[in-house]
């Protein structure tokens, strides 16, 4: 997939305006500038930033739901998927508040600049996930942060009772699901990833710990 193809796929998949695509272009520009000073993403991925990071994050957007009001993105890092989802939601889900939890203060400084420059309806929380007060979010997202078993512990803390978790996972996802089922009950929907044949998007609901 070329960068042009990836950009077009974001536009069609998320059904967003040209203005929103320009906002994403500005975000990519800021990411490149900041990445020269701090390691927001691996430099080797920058030539394919639209496929590796923007589209990979944006594929979660259609799953959020128009009725959602709060989204919690854990381990946001350089803005993936949280900042991308916040930018995409500005016009189509304007009431959505995105809370981005990231413990690295330098990455938080980048996220704060993106929030200010893009006038995002979002929060940047510079703290470890387990230390943040429960957020009662409608949706939780995460990418490449921790094993599913651990992610579900965070989800149980920060999701509302009817909330859903949407996680991007790699090739070993089935082993992670099997491990998580030892400790948790949940309903699961699996979707193929837009960016990798080995990856999946896991949508989890009705989460509760096993007795």
Q: How many domains does the chain divide into?
A: 1
Strand order of the β-sheet with 184-192 is 122-125, 97-101, 70-74, 137-143, 159-169, 200-209, 184-192
pTM: 0.96
Q: What percent of the chain has pLDDT over 70?
A: 100
Please compute, for residue 110, the number of CA atoms within 13 A of its CA located in the half-sphere on the CB side: 28
**Enclosing H/E stretch for 203:** strand 200-209
pLDDT per residue as tens digits for the range 10-54? 999 999 999 999 999 999 999 999 999 999 999 999 999 999 999
Residue 134 has which token pair?
A: 């429960």
Indicate the average pLDDT of the chain: 96
> Does pLDDT of 144 surpass 90?
no
**DSSP string over 149-193:** HHHHHHHHHHEEEEEEEEEEE-TTHHHHHHHHTTTEEEEEEEEE-
56: domain CATH number? 3.40.50.150
Instruction: Note the pLDDT of residue 46.
Output: 95
Dist. CA 77–CA 39, nearest whole Å: 9
Which structural domain range is residue 91 located in?
Answer: 3-209
Q: Which long-range contacts (CB under 8 A, 24 or more apart) does 181-188 make?
A: 182/149, 182/210, 183/149, 183/152, 183/209, 183/210, 184/149, 184/152, 184/156, 184/208, 184/209, 184/210, 185/209, 185/210, 186/152
Task: List phi, psi (to 5°) of 123.
Answer: -125, 145
Helices (H), 15-104: 18-35, 49, 56-58, 82-92
Reduce the DSSP state of residue 90 to 3 states and report it: helix
Residue 35 has which token pair?
A: 């990445």
pLDDT per residue as tens digits for the range 93-115? 999 999 999 999 999 999 999 99
Helices (H), 69-120: 82-92, 105-118
Instruction: Note the pLDDT of residue 169.
Output: 96
Reduce the DSSP state of residue 138 to 3 states and report it: strand
């Amino acid at each position: 997939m070329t960068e042009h193809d990836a950009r077009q796929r974001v536009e069609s998949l998320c059904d967003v305006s040209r203005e929103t695509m320009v906002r994403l272009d500005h975000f990519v520009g800021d990411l490149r500038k900041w990445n020269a000073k701090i390691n927001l993403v691996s430099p080797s991925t920058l030539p394919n930033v639209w496929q590796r990071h923007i589209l990979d994050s944006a594929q979660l957007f259609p799953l959020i739901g128009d009725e959602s009001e709060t989204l919690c993105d854990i381990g946001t890092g350089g803005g993936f998927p949280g900042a991308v989802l916040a930018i995409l939601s500005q016009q189509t889900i304007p009431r959505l508040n995105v809370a981005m939890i990231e413990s690295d203060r330098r990455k938080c400084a980048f996220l704060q600049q993106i929030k200010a420059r893009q006038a995002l309806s979002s929060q940047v929380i510079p703290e470890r996930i387990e230390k943040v007060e429960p957020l009662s979010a409608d949706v939780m997202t995460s990418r490449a942060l921790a094993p599913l078993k651990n992610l579900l512990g965070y989800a149980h803390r920060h999701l509302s009772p009817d909330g859903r978790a949407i996680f991007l996972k790699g090739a070993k996802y089935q082993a992670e699901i099997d491990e998580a089922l030892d400790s948790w009950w949940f309903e699961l929907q699996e979707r193929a990833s837009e960016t990798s044949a080995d990856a999946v998007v896991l949508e989890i609901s009705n989460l509760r710990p096993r007795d």
